[in-house]
Structure 1
C-alpha cells in the first residue's frame, strides 16, 4: 500500500492565494511579519505589489484590512491563530465584524499540533472567540484539497470569514476531481447507525481511522466532516442524531465553545441527545512534537476509538 500524501493546510492556504490571485486582481494579502510561516510568502513571491507586511502589529493589520475592504479590495489578513483571533480580537470585532466588512482572516498554526512552540502559541480558543462575533463565518478544513477549496469559497463569499489552518502535515484524503466545497454544509464520509461522529480539521482523518477500528468491533459509526463551524449544518446534525441516537464531536480545540458546543446548542434546542465532546479539556498545551501531543491529549485515532467505545458502553 502506498503511503498517504501529507500536506500542512497552511501550505494549502499559500498556494490557494496564488491560484485565486491570478484570476482576481482585487485580492490583497496582508501578513504580520510571519509570511514564511503562514506561507503567504508564496503569494508575495508572485505578487509582491499585492502583499503588505504590516510588521508585528496584528491589531493594526486588521485595521488596514478593514480599510482596504472599504475600497473594494478583498484583503486576506494572515497570522498565527493565537495572534489573529487572540491579540487582534478587538479590532476584528469592532473594525471588521461590526461593519460586516469583506475581510478574510487566514489563521495558521492553530491547535495543539503547533508542537514545540508550546502553550503560548497553541491556540485552542480561537473558534470559540470567533463564534461570538455576529456574522462571522468560520471554516476549519480537513486536508489540502478541502483547504484550497475553502479559500476560494471564502473569496467568493461577501462578508467576514475566519479560516483555520494547521502547521502539521496531515493526510490528503479528498479526491480533487470529485470534491465540492459547500459553505455551511457538512460532508458525510461514512454511513453508520450506532453513533454519529462529527469531526473538524485534522481530527476528521483521525475519526475515520477510529471508525475503522470500531467497525472491527461491530460498531457502525457515521462520520461527518464539519468544515464550516459557523454557519453550522444544523439540519444534518439533527438528522444524524435522530438516526444514531448518540453523538460524538471531535476537534483540535477546547471542548468549551468550539464544534462540540455548537453541536450541543443545536441538539439542545431541537433534539436532545447524549453527546460526548472530544477535544482539549480545560487545560493549556505544552511544548513537544506535534504527533506526540495529539496522542497525549487524546486526539489520535486510537484514543478516539477507546473514548467512543466507552461512551457507547
Structure 2
C-alpha cells in the first residue's frame, strides 16, 4: 500500500530526470506535497512561492506560457478556493497548460476541520471551461495521470489525498485513458461508481453484497470531466440501479454530473448520490468522517440494499 501522493512524487522525479522542462511550483508544500526528494535532486526545477496560492497559479501559468511543464502543487482546499480566479483566467481561459495538483484533497487533513477540507473543488472547477478533472484511485491511476499531464499541452486538475491506498489489482479495464472509466469489478445487479479514495470502500461493499447473493459492479470513474458518456449510456440502457460515491459534497460533483447525463439522455434508473450532505461537517480522522457519513463498505452496502428494495 502506498499513498497516491508518494506515487505522484516518484513519478514527477522520473519525469524531471528525463526532461528539464518539468518544473514543480509549490506553495509551502515541499513537505506535505512529498517534494523534498524532488527539491534535493532538481534544485533548479522547483519554485517555492510560499503561502500565496494566487501567486502560485500565476507563476505556474507564466512558466507554462514560456514552454515549461509546470506542476502547481498545493493543498486542494486552498488551491481551488483562494486562487479560483487565477485558475479561471490565467490557466483555463488563457489555455496555459498548467498541471494543477490538489493534494490532501477531500477530508484528508481530517482533524484540522472544514477549513482544510476540499469538498467544493469538483463543483467549482466543473463550471470552468477547458479544464479536465481527474481523481486517481490507486498507484496505477496516479502514475498514468501524471504522465498524461506531463505530455499534454492543455490545462488539467488532478487531486488526491494522503491515505495509503491498496492496489485495485487487475481490473476488467486494464488501460488508463482520460475520459474513460475503468471497470474494477464485474456485476449484474447494480453499479457502484466512485472516484479517488472512495473506490476502495465500494469494493468492500461489493464483497459484503456478494455474501448476500447480490452482484455489484464497481467502476473507477477517475475522470469527472469529461465524463465517460459511452459507459454511462450502457449502464443507463441496462436499467439497473446506480450509486455514485465521492469524497465531495453531494452538490455539484460526480453524482450530479452522472445523474444529469442519465436524465438528459432519457435513462430513468434507481439512482443515489453518496457524499457529504449540506450540513455542518463533523471533525475527526478521515476514517471517522467516512464512517459517520456512510462512506464505508458497510454504509454503501446499506444504501445499496435500500435502493434494491425500493
Structure 1 stretch displaced more, 74-83 or 7-16: 7-16
* TM-fit CA distance, 1:172: 2.1
Q: Secondary structure at the match of 2:51?
A: coil
Q: Where does residue 240 of structure 1 map in the other structure?
A: 235
Q: Are 1:280 and 2:262 matched, yes or no?
A: no
* TM-fit CA distance, 1:287: 2.8
Q: Where does residue 85 of structure 1 map in the other structure?
A: 80
Aligned residues of 2:141 and 2:176 also touching (Cα < 8 A): yes
Out of 136, 141, 145, the residue aligned to residue 146 of structure 1 is 141
1-structure distance, mates of 2:57, 2:282: 28
Superposed CA offset, 1:54-84 (max 9, x none): 0111001101011111111110001000111
1-structure distance, mates of 2:149, 2:237: 31
Out of 7, 15, 20, the residue aligned to residue 20 of structure 1 is 15
1-structure distance, mates of 2:230, 2:122: 21
Q: Where does residue 124 of structure 1 map in the other structure?
A: 119
Out of 257, 262, 285, the residue aligned to residue 289 of structure 1 is 285
Superposed CA offset, 1:229-251 (max 9, x none): 11110110110122242211011
1-structure distance, mates of 2:291, 2:239: 27
Q: Are 1:219 and 2:204 matched, yes or no?
A: no
Task: Point out where structure 1 has 5 or more consecutive residues left out of the alignment.
Answer: 1-5
2-structure distance, mates of 1:288, 1:153: 34
Q: Secondary structure at the match of 1:277?
A: strand
Q: Secondary structure at the match of 1:107?
A: strand
Q: Are 1:9 and 2:4 matched, yes or no?
A: yes
2-structure distance, mates of 1:73, 1:24: 10
Out of 145, 158, 167, the residue aligned to residue 162 of structure 2 is 167
Task: Point out where structure 2 has 5 or more consecutive residues left out of the alignment.
Answer: none
Q: Where does residue 106 of structure 2 map in the other structure?
A: 111
Q: Where does residue 178 of structure 2 map in the other structure?
A: 183
* TM-fit CA distance, 1:292: 1.4
* TM-fit CA distance, 1:194: 1.4
Out of 284, 301, 310, the residue aligned to residue 297 of structure 2 is 301
TM normalised by structure 2 equals 0.95
Please provide the CA RMSD for this pair.
1.5
Q: Where does residue 264 of structure 2 map in the other structure?
A: 269
Superposed CA offset, 1:164-214 (max 9, x none): 1102222222359x9432111101112222111111111111101101111
Q: Are 1:257 and 2:252 matched, yes or no?
A: yes
Structure 1 consecutive aligned stretches of length 4 or more whose deviation exceeds 6 Å:
none
Q: Secondary structure at the match of 2:67?
A: coil
Out of 290, 305, 311, the residue aligned to residue 307 of structure 2 is 311
Q: Where does residue 91 of structure 2 map in the other structure?
A: 96
Evaluate the alpha carbon distance shift between residue 114 and residue 284 of structure 1 in structure 2; reply closer, same or farther with a 3 A threshold: farther
Aligned residues of 1:128 and 1:256 also touching (Cα < 8 A): yes
Q: Where does residue 66 of structure 1 map in the other structure?
A: 61
